[in-house]
Amino acid sequence: MSDGIRPTLQELIALRASAQRRPPARRGRHSVTGPSASSLRGRGMEYAESREYVAGDDVRHIDWRLTARSGRTHTKLFQAERGGRSVLVADAAAGRYFGERVRLRSVQAAGAGAVDVGSAQQSGDRSAALGGGEAAIPPASGLRGAMRVLDALVRWYTQPPADHAPLEEALEHAQRLLRPGAQLVVLADAGSAARVPVLRWTALARHHQASLVLL
């Protein structure tokens, strides 16, 4: 078990696994539920292939290069992005390193983050994270994505970073990783959360499934 002072990767892996054993949470109408993407090909975000143009295709998606090479009009098809996206924001405020009776707030925060990672993996979401004064952990799915975030949580919550951005700035950076309907989980010190303008929280909640975990 942890000494309550620093999180361990083994504990976070166990917490992630416990979250995966729970029934998956119902998602809002803007997000995708379940581990599998539809096999249908439509006008999503990721390029899938090109085929010959047929009446009714959107002319904005004509593949001009293939059309020029083949002499026949082709249109691009796009694969809908697999799963949703879950972005974890870890507040870097020094207040998280104060202790409670059992453990530091930092250890509690890392555990909460691990549970979120497990829930995201169970739902088939791509996990991303930012905090700790480092570059953002880019979205990735499956075990690979989960482990990258857990490794980052151990680093971020082992000791305070020498330099860190305020929570509001971190949320601004998080918006670059978010997509409409994405899951946003913010692990924050109450003081840091209070300094974020209400309009920022309102805007995040309007377009995303935003959750604030106060430590």
Task: Give 10-residue mean pLDDT values along the chain (215 residues).
Answer: 77 88 50 40 60 88 94 82 81 65 83 93 90 86 93 87 78 86 90 91 89 89
CB proximity list for 141: less than 8 A, separation 6 or greater:
82, 83, 121, 124, 125, 126, 127
For the chain, the first-to-last Cα distance in angstroms comes to 21
Q: For residue 72, give both structure tokens.
A: 């026949």
pLDDT at 175: 85
Q: Which helix (H) or strand (E) holds 72?
A: none
The CA distance from 74 to 59, in Å, is 10
Query: Strand pairing of 85-90 and 126-131?
Result: parallel
pLDDT at 98: 63
pLDDT at 152: 93
The CA distance from 171 to 137, in Å, is 14
pLDDT at 94: 52
Q: Which helix (H) or strand (E) holds 20?
A: helix 9-20
pLDDT at 81: 54
Phi-psi category of 123—alpha, beta or left, where left has phi over 0 and alpha has psi -120 to 50? alpha
pLDDT at 38: 40
